[in-house]
């Protein structure tokens, strides 16, 4: 639910609203519809979420240390549980059989492991390991961690408060010492809309102020208050040398990440939104303009599927069957309306599992090449002629070969 807490303002464009609340935002470029209400936060009618999630993806690399192996620390800290896929479990077979055997072996090597040896030291390092955080470490219950996000948009001069649920925190670690931290977040309010979800995505993905004077959003759960720049070092503490902090609020502000993020200021985002077809504006072009404007990852015309042109002519609401998709270096997005069972029930599942794995593979290739390039570009360190320099060179060569053979 969007709540413009300071005064009555349009949560989409920030327009100052007077009582009685109009049915439609008076700003000509906006025109969003409001739900009637005498006081309290202004609530929106269009684009109510029927089914949705947002995945926040932090790609990072971690250096080879001569001390404790961070992957071993993750496996042994007690905070993470390794996700092991089994060839005898029909659910795991279902989850992994989308891929050709070669990719399956690369992404889900535990399918081919002898049970019981998964986390123990084996001769060859597995290509990929999946770990899941015990959400009780963040005060979470069976449904996840209930969070409140507070943020302020200084351009629109609107303050927002969103109820969120963090339902999963996953760590996917690859042999190239490249990892992905993946946070799955949902809007927890019953009336939450696409605007709320995108607002949450825009704020929560930020790990450093975007410009001078940018107010970092605040998260709270129970009595604990913290920001994303504290949450991330808490989740990745096994990659640092220090003891594990008791909670994100115990991480001092200004603590740097114990890994090397690929992007310094934001996480990648990967979202799915299924919207209520019955709560749309009657004006289809305006509706589509609002969708395009609100989305964080811009829709890609080539990747979006539109209904047949002749159907659009016969049926004024045919446009609701469009699948808007977008992919960029910021992430991926899929938006649909609940026009059929596929959109409502299955599209989100496929988008969040098989297609997300493809997205992760593409990101892995990009990120691994970037880190290899960076290591190779440091010619000074590689050509010193010392033992350390030769060791660095050997490691770069090994990782290049691994990448060539496996990706």
Residue numbers 64-93 binding Zn ion by CB under 5 A: none
With contacts defined by CB under 5 A, name the span among 24-32, 299-307, 363-371, 374-382 that binds Zn ion: 24-32
User: In the complex with Zn ion, which residue's Cβ is closer, 40 or 141?
Assistant: 40
CB of 155 to Zn ion, least distance (A): 14
Residues 2, 4, 9, 15: which binds Zn ion (CB under 5 A)?
15
Closest distance of CB 13 from Zn ion, Å: 3
Give the range of 18-26, 67-75, 216-224, 353-361 binding Zn ion by CB under 5 A: 18-26
- Work out how close the CB of 372 gets to Zn ion at its nearest, in angstroms, rounded to a whole number: 47
Mark the segment that binds Zn ion (CB under 5 A) among 19-27, 135-143, 277-285, 329-337: 19-27
Query: Can you tell me the distance from the alpha carbon of 251 to that of 132, in angstroms, rounded to the nearest whole number?
Result: 21
Q: Which is nearer to Zn ion, 9 or 221 (CB)?
A: 9
Strand locations in 241-323, DSSP E? 260-261, 268-275
Q: Which is nearer to Zn ion, 35 or 402 (CB)?
A: 35
Given 3, 4, 9, 12, the residue binding Zn ion (CB under 5 A): 12
User: How many CA within 13 A on the CB side of residue 111?
Assistant: 22
Peptide bond into 20 cis (omega under 30): yes
Contacts with Zn ion by CB under 5 A: the residue count is: 7
Q: Which is nearer to Zn ion, 34 or 180 (CB)?
A: 34
> How far, in Å, are 32, 170, 240, 284, 298 from residue 290 at the CA level?
8, 32, 43, 10, 12
Contact call for residue 13 and Zn ion (CB under 5 A): yes
Rounded to the nearest whole angstrom, what is the least distance from the CB of residue 289 to Zn ion in the complex? 12
Question: Which H or E run includes 258?
Answer: none
Binding map of Zn ion across residues 230-269, x = CB under 5 A, - = no contact: ----------------------------------------
Q: Which region, judged by CB under 5 A, interacts with Zn ion, from 20-28, 287-295, 318-326, 327-335?
A: 20-28
What's the min distance (Å) between Cβ of 160 and Zn ion?
14
The DSSP code sequence of 67-79 is: SS-HHHHHHHSSS
What's the closest the beta carbon of residue 25 comes to Zn ion, in angstroms? 3
CB 15, min distance to Zn ion, A: 5
Q: Where are the alpha helices (DSSP H) in 205-344?
A: 228-235, 284-294, 309-314, 341
Tell me how far apart the alpha carbons of residues 189 and 117 are, in angstroms, rounded to a whole number. Answer: 43
Q: How far is the CB of 146 from Zn ion (least distance, A)?
A: 29
- Using the rule CB under 5 A, give the single segment among 26-34, 137-145, 149-157, 285-293 that binds Zn ion: 26-34
- In contact, 86 and 111? CB cutoff 8 Å: yes
Residues contacting 172, CB < 8 A, separation 6+:
128, 129, 130, 131, 179, 180, 182, 360
Distance CA 11, CA 373 (A): 44
3-state secondary structure of 202: helix
CA 7 to chain centre: 31
Is residue 10 within 8 Å of 238, Cβ to Cβ?
no
Interacting stretch for Zn ion, rule CB under 5 A, among 21-29, 84-92, 94-102, 168-176? 21-29
Q: According to CB under 5 A, which residues from 28 to 47 bind Zn ion? A: 30
E-strand ranges in 69-135 read 80-83, 128-133
Tell me the C-alpha distance between 234 and 257, whole Å.
9
Query: Segment contacting Zn ion (CB under 5 A): 17-25, 194-202, 262-270, 339-347?
Result: 17-25
Interface ranges with Zn ion (CB under 5 A): 10, 12-13, 15, 25, 27, 30
């Amino acid at each position: 639910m969007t709540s413009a807490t300071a005064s009555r303002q349009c949560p989409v464009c920030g327009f100052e609203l007077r009582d009685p609340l109009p049915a439609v935002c008076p700003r000509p470029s906006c025109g969003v519809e409001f739900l009637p209400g005498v006081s309290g936060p202004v609530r929106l009618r269009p684009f109510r979420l029927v089914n949705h999630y947002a995945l926040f993806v932090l790609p990072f690399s971690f250096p080879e240390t001569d001390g404790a192996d961070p992957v071993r620390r993750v496996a042994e800290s007690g905070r993470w549980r390794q996700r092991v896929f089994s060839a005898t479990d029909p659910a795991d077979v279902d989850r992994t059989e989308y891929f050709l055997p070669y990719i399956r072996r690369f992404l889900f090597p535990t399918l081919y492991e002898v049970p019981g040896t998964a986390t123990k030291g084996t001769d060859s390092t597995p290509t990929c390991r999946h770990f899941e955080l015990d959400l009780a470490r963040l005060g979470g219950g069976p449904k996840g961690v209930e969070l409140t996000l507070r943020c302020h948009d200084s351009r629109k001069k609107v303050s927002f408060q969103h109820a969120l649920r963090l339902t999963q925190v996953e760590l996917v670690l690859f042999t190239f010492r490249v990892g992905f931290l993946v946070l799955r977040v949902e809007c927890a309010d019953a009336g939450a809309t696409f605007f709320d979800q995108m607002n949450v995505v825009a704020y929560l993905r930020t790990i450093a102020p975007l410009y001078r004077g940018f107010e970092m959003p605040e998260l709270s759960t129970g009595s604990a208050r913290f920001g994303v720049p504290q949450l991330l070092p808490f989740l990745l503490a096994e990659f640092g040398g220090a003891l594990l902090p008791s909670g994100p609020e115990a991480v001092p502000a200004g603590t740097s990440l114990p890994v090397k993020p690929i992007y310094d200021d934001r996480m990648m985002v990967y979202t799915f939104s299924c919207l209520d077809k019955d709560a749309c504006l009657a004006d289809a072009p305006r509706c589509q303009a609002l969708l395009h404007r609100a989305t964080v990852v811009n829709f890609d015309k080539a990747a979006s599927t539109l209904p047949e042109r002749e159907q659009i002519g016969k049926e004024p609401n045919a446009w609701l069957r469009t699948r808007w998709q977008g992919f960029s270096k910021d992430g991926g997005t899929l938006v649909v309306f609940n026009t059929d069972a596929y959109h409502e029930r299955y599209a989100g599942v496929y988008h969040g599992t098989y297609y997300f794995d493809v997205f992760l593979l593409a990101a892995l290739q990009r990120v691994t090449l970037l880190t290899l390039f960076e290591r190779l570009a440091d010619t000074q360190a590689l050509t010193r002629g010392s033992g350390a320099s030769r060791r660095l060179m050997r490691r770069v060569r090994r990782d290049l070969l691994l990448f060539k053979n496996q990706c």
